[in-house]
């Protein structure tokens, strides 16, 4: 069954009485060149278990299953497993897990699904939870080597922007702390059914074995970067004071000890300075 053929896909979905849910970010891939490229980029092969999020009707799942030792795919929409039972009938190395990726215990899931295997994540992510999913996968320190994921084009640029670059935001700082991100290739909106209003891109985050900076407290660092970027147009000292409910003098002193000018904007701070800033503020509070 050729799932990238729009007519085949429509007839499959009609047979199952399935209609797309916008709320669940259901835009299914119908461009035949994308899934093979994603499967290759994520390193699917012997000895590798691939975790997919949101298999839909299984177009990427099938490609991953051809190459990987095993695929586990988490799907929230309970209407899809019966469709997947049909489209994945030829594969014995795929397990569909029904549930919400944001609520599942992923440590337990990976231990259960992939004992003895190296693990990669590969997914066409539902756009409405792109950042929460990526942050969960990274901050839970799962035994995963890389995430190869399709996201909206603008999200790709933001997620991969290096701290200190104009496009960066709080999420970029957190991503760079845990991983080395890069944009792999663009994917046009014409590659999906139904066609979304924006283009996409496949990005890859290679999880770092050790972080590039030392933090006194990771969750405090996340609070600090969120505060820094909460008011992008403002000087960082003001944004920090407002976001953390601290005196402006304390924010300015921490910026100074991180080697930054008091009127600097968050987007100009490289990861090392964001880390030094967070550590200085942490010391003031707890040191
Ligand atoms: N992989 C398929 C493809 O490329 O054609 C479908 C991708 S579609 C963009 C996103 C998929 O994620 C849908 O199947 C949707 O039902 C599923 N999904 C949405 N929210 C989810 C959640 N919280 N947990 C797991 N899956 C979810």
User: What is the mean pLDDT of the segment spanning 59-71?
Assistant: 98
Percent of the chain at pLDDT > 70 equals 100
Greatest Cα pair distance in the chain: 65
pLDDT above 90: residue 232 = no
Which numbered atom of ligand 1 lies nearest the CA of 133?
Answer: 23
Closest CA to 235 of 277, 263, 257: 263
Is residue 60 in contact with ligand 1, taking CB distance under 6 Å? Answer: yes
Over residues 85-108, the pLDDT tens digits come to: 999 999 999 999 999 999 999 999
251 Cβ below 6 A of ligand 1 = no
How much is the average pLDDT of 193-222? 97
Report the atom number in ligand 1 closest to the C-alpha of 27: 9
Q: What is the DSSP code string of 33-87?
A: THHHHHHHHTT--TTEEEEEE--TTSHHHHHHHHHSSEEEEEE--TTSHHHHHHH
Instruction: Please report the pLDDT score of residue 233 as a whole number.
Output: 82
d(CA 143, CA 107): 8
Residue pointed to by tokens 């014995």: 92
- pLDDT tens, 117-168? 999 999 999 999 999 999 999 999 999 999 999 999 999 999 999 999 999 9
* Rounded mean pLDDT, 250-262: 94
Structure pTM? 0.96
287 band by pLDDT with thresholds 50, 70 and 90: confident
Q: What is the mean pLDDT of the chain?
A: 97
Q: Is 26 in the pocket of ligand 1 (CB under 6 A)?
A: yes
Question: What pLDDT does 1 receive?
Answer: 87
Q: Are 223 and 171 in contact (CB under 8 A)?
A: no
Residue nearest to atom 11 of ligand 1 (CA): 54
Mutate which of 5, 18, 24, 65 to test ligand 1's pocket (most atoms within 8 Å of Cβ)? 24
Q: Is the CB of 54 under 6 A from ligand 1?
A: yes
75 Cα to the center of ligand 1, angstroms: 6
**Residue identifier of the C-alpha nearest atom 23 of ligand 1:** 100
Per-residue buried b or exposed e for 52-88, using 16+ beta carbons within 10 Å of the residue's own CB: bbbbbbbbbbbbbbebbbbbbbbbbbeebeebbeebb
Could you write out the DSSP letters of every residue in the chain?
--TTSHHHHHHHHHHTT----TTTT--EE--TTHHHHHHHHTT--TTEEEEEE--TTSHHHHHHHHHSSEEEEEE--TTSHHHHHHHTTT-SSEEEEES-TTTS-HHHHHHHH-TTSEEEEEEE--GGGHHHHHHHHHHTT-S-SEEEEEEEHHHHHHHHPPBTBTT--HHHHHHHHHEEEEEEEEE-GGGEES--SS-EEEEEEEEPSS-SS--S-HHHHHHHHHHHHHTTTS-HHHHHHHHHT--HHHHHHHHHHTT--TT--GGG--HHHHHHHHHHHHHHHH-
**Protein residue whose Cα sits closest to atom 19 of ligand 1:** 24
Identify the pLDDT of residue 8.
95
Closest ligand 1 atom, CA of 61? 1
CA of 52 to the centre of ligand 1 (A): 9
Residue of minimum CA distance from atom 5 in ligand 1: 28
Tokens of 43: 């390193």
Cα of 56 vs centre of ligand 1, distance in Å, is 5
């Amino acid at each position: 069954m050729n799932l990238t053929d729009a007519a085949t896909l429509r007839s499959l979905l009609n047979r199952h009485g399935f209609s797309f849910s916008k709320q669940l970010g259901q835009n299914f891939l119908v461009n035949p060149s994308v899934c093979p490229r994603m499967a290759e980029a994520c390193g699917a092969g012997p000895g590798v278990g691939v975790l997919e999020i949101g298999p839909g009707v299984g177009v990427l799942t099938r490609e991953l299953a051809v190459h990987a030792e095993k695929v586990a795919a988490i799907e929230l929409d309970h209407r899809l497993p019966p469709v997947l039972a049909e489209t994945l009938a030829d594969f014995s190395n795929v397990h569909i897990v029904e549930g919400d990726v944001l609520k599942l215990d992923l440590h337990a899931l990976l231990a259960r699904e992939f004992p003895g295997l190296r693990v990669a994540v590969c997914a066409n992510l539902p756009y409405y939870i792109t950042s929460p999913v990526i942050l969960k996968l990274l901050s839970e320190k799962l035994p995963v080597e890389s995430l190869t994921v399709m996201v909206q084009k603008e999200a790709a640029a933001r997620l991969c922007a290096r701290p200190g670059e104009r496009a960066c935001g709080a999420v970029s700082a957190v991503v760079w702390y845990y991983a080395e991100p890069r944009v792999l290739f663009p994917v046009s909106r014409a590659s999906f059914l139904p066609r979304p209003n924006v283009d996409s891109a496949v990005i890859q985050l290679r999880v770092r074995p050790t972080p590039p900076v030392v933090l006194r407290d990771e969750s405090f660092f996340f609070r600090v970067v969120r505060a820094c970027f909460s008011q992008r147009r403002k000087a960082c000292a003001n944004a920090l004071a407002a976001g953390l409910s601290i005196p402006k003098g304390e924010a300015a002193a921490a910026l100074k000890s991180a080697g930054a000018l008091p009127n600097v904007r968050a987007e100009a701070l490289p990861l090392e300075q964001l880390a030094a800033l967070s550590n200085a503020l942490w010391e003031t509070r707890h040191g």
